[in-house]
């Protein structure tokens, strides 16, 4: 296969993973897979939570695709590589930036990273599996739209510091 086709498959998979992640987060993790995902919405003690099993499953799929692709089922290796790249970006943005699961002490003050950070905190403002907002991991809708959506879902304004667009968020907020 040509380098251009491989690169296109890789980039399409990387972008498509955000759509898949949104769907899986909303309909599986907050649906029938809540048993694993619930741990992510509760205080964590220790390095791991049951929700990390999703990463293990998705890594297993990516490894299988890479193995099949290198065994001749092209371009599956590039699909697996795109999934792996998405997993790395998820690890950096979600586990590092938002939830501080490794020593990453940067708190974004403006731009895309701030919006991503606030959107995920708004997702965690709801402590059950229903009525959440912002199910994506690398795409974050505008904070004002998420705030409006939360108000509509809860029939009134929530009094959460993470919902105030002008206030900075703290590591304590991210620990949720």
Tens-place pLDDT, residues 49-102:
999 999 999 999 999 999 999 999 999 999 999 999 999 999 998 888 888 888
* C-beta of residue 138 within 8 angstroms of C-beta of residue 90: yes
CA distances from 16 to 20, 22, 29, 137 (A): 6, 10, 18, 12
CA distances from 88 to 47, 72, 93, 154, 161 (A): 18, 25, 9, 34, 29
pTM of the model: 0.82
CB atoms within 10 A of CB 66: 18
pLDDT tier for residue 161 given thresholds of 50, 70 and 90: very low
Give me the pLDDT at residue 1, please.
Answer: 67
In this predicted structure, the answer to whether residue 130 has a pLDDT above a threshold of 90 is no
* Structural domain spans, the chain: 3-98, 111-174
> Highest mean pLDDT range out of 80-94, 114-128, 134-148, 154-168?
80-94
């Amino acid at each position: 296969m040509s380098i251009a086709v491989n690169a296109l498959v890789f980039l399409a998979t990387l972008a498509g993973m955000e759509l898949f992640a949104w769907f899986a987060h909303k309909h599986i993790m907050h649906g029938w897979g809540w048993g694993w995902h619930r741990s992510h919405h509760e205080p964590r003690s220790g390095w791991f939570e049951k929700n990390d099993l999703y990463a293990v499953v998705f890594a297993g799929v990516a490894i299988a695709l890479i193995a099949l692709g290198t065994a001749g089922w092209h371009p599956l290796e590039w699909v697996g590589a795109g999934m792996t790249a998405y997993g790395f970006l998820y690890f950096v943005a979600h586990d590092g930036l938002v939830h501080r699961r490794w020593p990453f002490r940067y708190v974004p003050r403006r731009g895309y990273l701030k919006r991503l950070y606030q959107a995920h905190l708004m997702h965690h403002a709801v402590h059950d599996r229903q009525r959440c907002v912002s199910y994506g991991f690398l795409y974050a809708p505008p904070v004002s739209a998420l705030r409006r959506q939360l108000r509509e879902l809860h029939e009134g304004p929530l009094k959460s510091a993470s919902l105030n667009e002008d206030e900075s968020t703290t590591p304590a907020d991210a620990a949720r």
